[in-house]
A and B are shown apart, each in its own frame.
Chain A
Amino acid sequence: MSSSDIFDVLNIKPKSDSLKDDTTTGKHTSSLAVSDKNTPVPGTSSIPTMKSMAPKPQVTGIQRELYNLLGENQPPIMVQPVNRFKQKMTGKPSPWTYSEFWSTDDEDTTKRVKLRHWVKGSKELIGETPQVSSFSKFNQHLTLPQFTEEEYNSFMKAAKERKETHKEELLTTLKIKDKPSVEKNSNEMILKVNAEKGTPEDKQNSIEPLNKSETVENDVDSKDNEDKGTGKDNIQENEGEIENNEAADGKETAEDESDWTFAEVDYLFQLCRKYDLRWFIIYDRYQFDSPNHRILEDLKSKFYEMCQNYFAARNSNDPLLQSLNYNKEKEVERKQYLQRLLSRSAAEIAEEEALIIESKKFEMAAKKTLNERESLLRLLDSPNSDQNVSQYMTSQGISQLYNNLLADKSRKRKNDSSIPENPWMKQQQQFAQQKQQLQQLHEKRHSESSQPDHNHINGNRSNSIQSTPALNKTMSSNESDIKLTSSPRKTKRQKQELQNAIKRKGEAQYAEQLLQNFTAEERKSLGVIAHGEKLSPGVYMRSTKISTFKPALQNKIVVILQELGLPMRPSMPSHDVIEVQEDLLKHVVTLLDLKKQLDRIDAEKAIKK
């Protein structure tokens, strides 16, 4: 609510009045009025009319009072400049030049090629003379052995001789250990690595085909590795090995003599040098006038063989020899296998997967049955249950185990407590026992009058002497315990109870024996009682053994006792008094129970109504 409303209600025209006052009072108030934008001309009577004229057309949807509050004080709408355009690129574009360069740094112009490429930088910066490519340093070549025909012949002869001797050696040493000698003699070759400019790429190039055998050592431990590397020796059986070796050697020699001429070998090595042992290219370019078609593996194996021979001829202990083994058969096999694998049809792949799943299922099932069998065997309480079950996995083993168990069972007692009992059987046994007990009790009553049971003479006598109800009770409970012995079947618990009962009976007898010289009167005066019960040993006050109950119940009991004019604690808590008191308490509790029951019935009735 603005002040103008109040003025409206009060029917006053405040502004004009005050302004009039202002004009009359002084100049400095006029400056105040000037600050008011509504009154550009102070001191005129036109102001109220202006004000009344000013109000904007009727507005709906906003409370009048609220609307009136809107004045010139509305905050201005913030207009933030938004840049809708991309920022202009700063800086000028860097120049690129399409310039010439040499493929290698080789001075021989025939070997290098002039090429062009885009380089960052202005023409002036780069200059006119073609640069050597910065990648040319990666263009490394292998240094492969070079030999003349004479050399070739000489080391081939040496190799052949070695082979002959090796064959004999092999035959003699085969039974002991064949690997080392085989390696030394069979395929000897070597590859010289260009060591001076040993950039990683270069090394990789040269060693790549030999990676497999790099780790090969002389040790017998690495026999497996060697087996992989040297395929000819990859045979399990000795006889097979011999045959294979002979066959391979025969083949090789045949090849050497018939197929490979020096010219062809030389040609091969030229190609190898030219293409840096890139075998697929070598194979692609290989065009030698030869009757035999050479596959890639032929070329490879020949190359390694030649290398081996070459290095062996120069130095038979060259460490490189180890790494120059090449197993042609295995390689061919591998490629064939890959070929087969990759050329499978979709149907074949699906079938294979299905088969794999099936086999996995079988494995799982086998494992499961194994586990089950194991647990079963353990359950059977076999004497060897903690041993491995594998010996029982066969049908013969099982039958043997069965026999063992049978024999064991007949030896052992019938009821093993470790085997969980059938709860129904237990229940049934209990019922049977109860029935038997009842029957015996019945019989006993009959026989008691005529012929006292010898077993109970002791108890009877003590009863007559003591004539205390508690003793009677305990003795009877003892008797019932004893009766349990006659029942043919006993559970473990019952057995234990029985044992306890016997023990207690023995103790009671001992106590009786101690007291046998005293008459009942004497016992009373001595304050000694053979209660025959299992109570915790120690000393206590009689009055502290008066039964107590839950607080709520206890209070009710106290109230009832008060009604009877009896205290909770008898003034003379002697043995006899306490006994009677306990009896009283029992009765009171029964009474309270009945009361509760009555209340409940009443409540139920009330609900029904």
Chain B
Amino acid sequence: MAPPVSKRIKTLSVSRPIIYGNTAKKMGDHKPANAPVEHTHLWTIFVRDPRGEDISYYIKKVVFKLHETYPNHTRVVEAPPFELTETGWGEFDVNIKIYFIDEANEKQLNFYHRLRLHPYDNQANSDSTEINEAGETIIKSVFFDEVVFNEPHENFFQILMSKPGNLLPSNKTPKNIFSKQLEEEEIYRIKKGIDEIDKQIADLQEKIDEKDETV
């Protein structure tokens, strides 16, 4: 369907936070009936809002492209929640394509997520493990990102402006660490890094000056 002709609003961008990643847990004895024998894990891959808000007002569908050994390895999720649960035994890169609503008149976003089934020692902070109520270890590999619509079309802009979609939860929770709190921590950390670098720069500069003088 051809979207109505509209022009882009220049020099303006709108961003929406999203979380994507997967959770996984070992399957015990009670496997799903149709799961192949060699599958050991049950995993769920998802794309959602950090606050769990509905994002279908700007996302039309999400396509997960699984490993080719899966039957129908291209899975299309056309309604929220945009997630997919499968069983498996190995880790692989899942290709995620986010299609936006027709009014957006934008290309789809295309990125990869490495499916995580096992806990890693050298975890990045996006990977974590937790123990759920049932006492099962849940492996999580979740990433935060922002979808930026640069110079959106006017219609789409109106739609985006109808909801304050850029909000984050204010505090970290065990379930969701991505929040204003984490953001501030992150900024703080980086700023400290900058300070550290600045110190090193000053040191180096001094050394260079010294050597220049001696030369």
Residues of A in contact with B (beta carbons under 8 Å apart): 504, 507-508, 510-511, 514-515, 522, 524-545, 560-561, 564-567, 570-577, 580-581, 583-584, 587-588, 590-591, 594-595, 597-598, 601-602, 604-605, 608
Q: Contact partner of A535 among B9, B13, B163, B212, CB < 8 A?
A: B13
Cα A587 to Cα B111 in complex, Å, equals 29
Q: Judging by beta carbons under 8 Å apart, are A542 and B146 in contact?
A: yes
A571 and B13 within 8 A (CB) = no
> Do the beta carbons of B193 and A573 come within 8 Å of each other?
no
Complex CA–CA separation, A537 to B151 (angstroms): 5
Q: Kindly report which residue of chain B lies nearest to residue A508, judged by CB atoms.
A: B11
Q: Which of B146-164 contact A (CB under 8 A)?
A: 146-151, 157, 160-161, 163-164
**Residue among B124, B147, B166 facing the most chain A CB atoms (10 A cut-off):** B166
Given contacts A511-B10, A527-B16, A531-B13, contact A571 B201 (CB under 8 A): no
- A546 → chain B, closest Cβ, in Å? 11
Q: How far is the CB of A114 from chain B (nearest CB, A)?
A: 116
Which B residues lie within 8 Å of A605 (CB)? 211, 215
**Among the listed A526, A567, A594, A602, which residue makes an inter-chain contact with B201, where contact means beta carbons less than 8 Å apart?**
A594
8 Å CB contact of A577 from B13, B190, B207:
B190
Contact B124 A587 (CB under 8 A): no
Interface of B is mostly: mixed
A-chain residues with CB within 8 Å of residue B161 when the two chains form the complex:
526, 528
Smallest CB gap from B205: residue in A: A594
> Nearest Cβ in chain A — how far from B94, in angstroms?
16
- Kindly list 19 other residue pairs between chains A and B, CB separation below 8 angstroms, not including A527-B165, A577-B190, A591-B201: A511-B12, A514-B12, A525-B166, A526-B166, A527-B16, A529-B14, A531-B12, A532-B11, A539-B100, A540-B109, A542-B146, A560-B197, A561-B193, A566-B193, A567-B124, A574-B15, A583-B190, A601-B215, A605-B211
Q: How far is the CB of B47 from chain A (nearest CB, A)?
A: 12
Name the residue on B nearest A577 (C-beta): B186
A-side contacts of B201, CB under 8 Å: 587, 590-591, 594
Q: Which residues of B contact A537 (CB under 8 A)?
A: 8, 150-151
Main secondary structure of the interface of A (DSSP, over half): helix
The answer to whether B126 has its CB under 8 Å from any CB of chain A is yes
**Could you give 23 example pairs across A and B, Cβ below 8 Å?**
A511-B9, A514-B157, A515-B12, A522-B164, A525-B166, A527-B17, A527-B146, A528-B13, A533-B11, A535-B151, A540-B109, A541-B146, A543-B143, A543-B145, A565-B189, A571-B125, A571-B186, A572-B186, A584-B193, A587-B201, A591-B200, A598-B204, A605-B211
Residue ID in chain B nearest A530 by CB atoms: B12
Partner among A504, A515, A590, A597 whose Cβ is within 8 Å of the Cβ of B208: A597
- Measured between C-beta atoms, what is the minimum distance from B106 to chain A in Å? 4
Asked whether any CB of chain A lies closer than 8 Å to the CB of B35, the reply is: no
B148 to chain A, nearest CB (A): 5
B168 to chain A, nearest CB (A): 8
Which residues of B are at the interface with A, using a C-beta cutoff of 8 A?
A: 8-17, 100, 104, 106-107, 109, 111, 124-126, 143-151, 157, 160-161, 163-168, 178, 182-183, 186-187, 189-191, 193-194, 196-198, 200-201, 204-205, 207-208, 211-212, 215
B160:A528 contact, CB within 8 angstroms? yes
A524 touches which one: B11, B143, B151, B166 (CB < 8 A)? B166
Chain B residues contacting A602 (CB-CB under 8 Å) are 211
* Chain A contacts for B111, CB-based, 8 A: 541, 544
Are B150 and A538 in contact, with the CB atoms below 8 A?
Answer: yes
**A508-B11, A601-B212 given as contacts; is B183 within 8 A of A577 (CB)?**
yes
CB-defined contacts of A580 to chain B, threshold 8 Å = 186-187, 190-191, 194
Q: For residue B111, which residue of chain A has the nearest CB? A: A541
Cα distance A132–B151 in the bound complex, in angstroms: 115
Q: How far is the CB of B164 from chain A (nearest CB, A)?
A: 4
Residue of B nearest to A579 (CB): B187
Minimum CB–CB distance from B173 to chain A (whole Å) comes to: 14
In the bound complex, residues from chain A placing their C-beta under 8 Å from that of B182 are 571-572
